[in-house]
Amino acid sequence: MTTDYRFSTALLLRALGALLALVGLVLLLVGLLVGLLDLPSAVLTTAVVLAVVLVVGGGLLTTRVTSLVHFDEAGYQVRWLRGAGVKQARWREVEDAVTATISGHDCVVLRLRDGRTTTIPVKLLDAAPSTFIDDLSARLDKGHGYRRLR
């Protein structure tokens, strides 16, 4: 069974707002240039069409296609995070998982047996930190052959 954790909705909305503001500014500048330089109106029409495609495509890409953290039976994979460290590893390679505050952000740090690490800021995820940590713990236990006491 696989689990994908995507970017949090709040983060995506902030990014979409910034993208819309930038696109609006570019369209305003193109409109001014069309008016001042007496350019054909097709230039503005083309800019509007490209802006719509950019916003819709970017929105679909970030909400539907991309997952930030992917768990499966074999291991994990981290995408789109600069500075995360190791991007993928098998569960057996993970020595332990700890929580840490790095630069003021709550993170989960996966420490590998060879000394390398993967750092995942939990605020970026679309799930509650406790849900993510519980899923991670269960997968680590299973990957190492541990069974929980009841």
pLDDT of residue 150: 67
The yes or no reply on domain 69-143 and CATH 3.40.190.10 is: no
Asked if residue 122 lies in contact with residue 107, where contact means CB atoms within 8 angstroms, the answer is yes
Residue 146: is it exposed, middle or buried by C-beta count within 10 angstroms (0-12/13-18/19+)? exposed
Q: Where do the structural domains in the chain lie, given as residue ranges? A: 7-65, 69-143
The overall average pLDDT reported for the chain is 91
Where is average pLDDT lowest: 2-6, 60-64, 68-72, 118-122?
Answer: 60-64
Q: What is the spatial distance between Cα 96 and Cα 134, in angstroms, rounded to a whole number? A: 14
Give the model confidence (pLDDT) of 4-25 as tens digits. 999 888 888 888 888 889 999 9
Give the model confidence (pLDDT) of 94-138 as tens digits. 999 999 999 999 999 999 999 999 999 999 999 999 999 999 999
